[in-house]
Amino acid sequence: MKLIVQDAPALKSAIDSIVCLVEEGQIEIKNDGLYFRAMDPSQISMVSFRMPKEAFVEYSIPEEMKLGLDIGQLSNVLARGKKGESAELSVEDGRLVIKFAGEKHKRTFKVSLIETSERVQKEPKIEFGNYAKIRADAIKETLKDAKLLSSHVKLQLTPEQFGVEVRGDSGDLKAEFQKGSSEVIEISTISGARATFPLQYLEDMVKATNSASIVTVNLETDKPLKLEYEVEGAKVVYYLAPRIETE
């Protein structure tokens, strides 16, 4: 196996979209790219990751395989890759080999593989009929505001706006992003939707975004949230269970 990414920090950014929720798991190396899917330890959220072979300058595998990895450790090692260096992944003697190569130097790390569950989680079967495409920075800043007041946020979608509402013991917040504004790329809904979610998970899910990222928020009333975006050629999808509120 030989997988090479031209820009080492780009691979770190892509993997960080996993490690924000899951510390270890099984990466599937298939003919068309890398796949990873797992529930977080609390079992209320899931991450589904795909990095297609086109994101690599070289993608060569003798056969499809599965590698059990400490994703947190992998992220820490990838953090040592510098701008201008490539990152090469291979397997040798039961370990993942990570080589960083610059113009006239090379560094090689070897990371032990771990035993993980063979069971690959299935994505929830939910029909989503409502979504909004929002600039990531707008979501990040709003969640920072919300964190001052509560540990949960209500997301709301109408044909004309995407909203975030917080009601806490110390105060309330209502943020509204109108259709056609610079923060809202697209809204698609007929009857609207709303649901409440734990704020910390939402913060973790958008952590790997950059200033150019567009986040698609798929929302159904009192059902799991589906949140997706692209990062450095990879596509990541998250699911998050709602908090069911009683009147």
- Report how far residue 172's alpha carbon sits from residue 169's, in angstroms, rounded to the nearest whole number: 8
- Report how far residue 119's alpha carbon sits from residue 38's, in angstroms, rounded to the nearest whole number: 9
Domains located in the chain, CATH noted: 2-112 (3.10.150.10), 131-240 (3.70.10.10)
Which residues 6+ apart lie within 8 Å of 212 measured at CB? none
pLDDT bucket at 176, cuts 50 / 70 / 90: very high
Q: What is the pLDDT of residue 247?
A: 47
Query: Is the Cβ–Cβ distance between 85 and 26 less than 8 Å?
Result: no
Q: Give pTM, 2 decimals.
A: 0.93
- Report how far residue 205's alpha carbon sits from residue 78's, in angstroms, rounded to the nearest whole number: 20
Query: Is the Cβ–Cβ distance between 53 and 32 less than 8 Å?
Result: yes
- For 1-17, how does the pLDDT look when each residue is reduced to its tens digit (9 = 90+)? 999 999 999 999 999 99
- Report how far residue 234's alpha carbon sits from residue 35's, in angstroms, rounded to the nearest whole number: 10
